[in-house]
């Protein structure tokens, strides 16, 4: 657990900044809802007639006048993108930073196996991602209660679960990439999260590109689908988790054999 504690201390500032930023934005969105609710009947009609743009964000199938619809689109984007960026950044540098910052010699001269390093660093990533999601979940529930709305438990829980799983998948992919990289990790992490996000927008807009939902984890986080189905798409989630696990396995295979420079 020494390395887990060490990693959590090292990542403490970034964790607090990202959690405060995403949680704060989410709370602001929820606080805006009561004011927007009254104006939403007309706005929903406008949104539903904006063609591809509406479809891209799933707004053609959600009612902005309800907390569930509003939360699924507005808060979903904040949590989806913010959480994805944090999870990717957190994981993509966790192994490679030792070589990038030239601390690898210090760490690996200690009697710690590479498997243990991977295990503990992975645990540190999972703890940070999980803690961030729990805090944001609490902020979200508190904000909804504060504006006097009834919490739509099922939808909120499913949406937060979906975004948590999305972050786990991205963290798994980026963790695998981290084992192969020696520098330039920040751009890679942000790039992967952004590309995945836009792949989902494309899949929403163009029917021939719908297969992209099987590639991007944002595919199983589509608010409109979750609210309409009352469940997550198990097949997409399973594919996503498998991809994340492949990333972690790749990290084990590569890092255990890697020449450390």
DSSP single-letter state for residue 72: I
Nearer to another protein, 117 or 221 (CB): 117
User: Going by C-beta distance under 8 Å and a sequence separation of 6 or more, which residues neighbour residue 243?
Assistant: 169, 172, 173, 217
Instruction: Pick out residues in 68-107 that bind another protein (CB under 8 A).
Output: 101-107
Q: Shortest gap between Cβ of 3 and another protein (angstroms)?
A: 8
Nearer to another protein, 3 or 30 (CB): 3
Nearer to another protein, 125 or 224 (CB): 125
Nearer to another protein, 10 or 52 (CB): 10
Can you tell me the distance from the alpha carbon of 107 to that of 102, in angstroms, rounded to the nearest whole number?
A: 10
Which one of 1-9, 16-24, 123-131, 150-158 is the stretch in contact with another protein (CB under 8 A)? 1-9
Nearer to another protein, 37 or 119 (CB): 119
Q: Shortest gap between Cβ of 96 and another protein (angstroms)?
A: 15
Nearer to another protein, 186 or 260 (CB): 260
* Site for another protein contains 196 (CB under 8 A): no
User: Going by C-beta distance under 8 Å and a sequence separation of 6 or more, which residues neighbour residue 168?
Assistant: 87, 126, 129, 241, 244
Length of the chain: 261
Q: Shortest gap between Cβ of 103 and another protein (angstroms)?
A: 6
* Site for another protein contains 157 (CB under 8 A): no
DSSP single-letter state for residue 73: I
Q: Shortest gap between Cβ of 102 and another protein (angstroms)?
A: 4
Instruction: Pick out residues in 125-154 that bind another protein (CB under 8 A).
Output: none
* H helix intervals, 147-233: 153-180, 185-205, 223-229
User: Going by C-beta distance under 8 Å and a sequence separation of 6 or more, which residues neighbour residue 75?
Assistant: 26, 29, 30, 140, 159
Dihedral over alpha carbons 30, 35, 40, 46 (to 10 degrees): -90
* Site for another protein contains 108 (CB under 8 A): yes
Q: How many residues bind another protein (CB under 8 A)?
A: 21
Residue 191 has which token pair?
């790039």
The binding site for another protein (CB under 8 A) comprises 2-3, 6, 10, 101-113, 257, 259-261
């Amino acid at each position: 657990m020494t390395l887990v504690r060490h990693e959590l201390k090292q990542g403490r500032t970034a964790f607090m900044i990202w959690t405060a930023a995403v949680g704060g934005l989410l709370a602001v969105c929820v606080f805006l809802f009561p004011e927007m609710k009254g104006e939403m009947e007309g706005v929903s009609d406008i949104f539903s007639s904006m063609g591809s743009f509406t479809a891209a964000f799933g707004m053609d199938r959600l009612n902005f006048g309800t907390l569930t619809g509003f939360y699924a689109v507005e808060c979903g984007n904040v949590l989806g993108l913010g959480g994805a960026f944090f999870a990717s950044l957190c994981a993509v540098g966790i192994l490679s930073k030792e070589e990038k910052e030239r601390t690898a010699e210090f760490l690996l001269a200690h009697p710690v196996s590479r498997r243990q390093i991977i295990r503990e660093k992975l645990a540190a990533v999972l703890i940070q991602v999980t803690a961030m999601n729990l805090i944001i979940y609490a902020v979200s529930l508190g904000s909804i209660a504060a504006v006097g709305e009834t919490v739509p438990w099922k939808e909120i829980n499913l949406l937060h679960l979906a975004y948590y799983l999305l972050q786990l998948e991205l963290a798994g992919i980026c963790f695998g990439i981290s084992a192969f990289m020696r520098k330039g990790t920040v751009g890679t992490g942000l790039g992967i999260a952004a590309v995945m996000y836009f792949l989902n927008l494309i899949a929403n807009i163009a029917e021939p590109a719908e297969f992209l939902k099987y590639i991007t984890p944002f595919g199983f986080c589509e608010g409109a689908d979750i609210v309409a189905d009352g469940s997550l798409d198990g097949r997409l989630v399973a594919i996503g988790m498998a991809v994340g696990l492949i990333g972690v396995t790749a990290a084990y295979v590569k890092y255990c054999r890697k020449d450390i420079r």
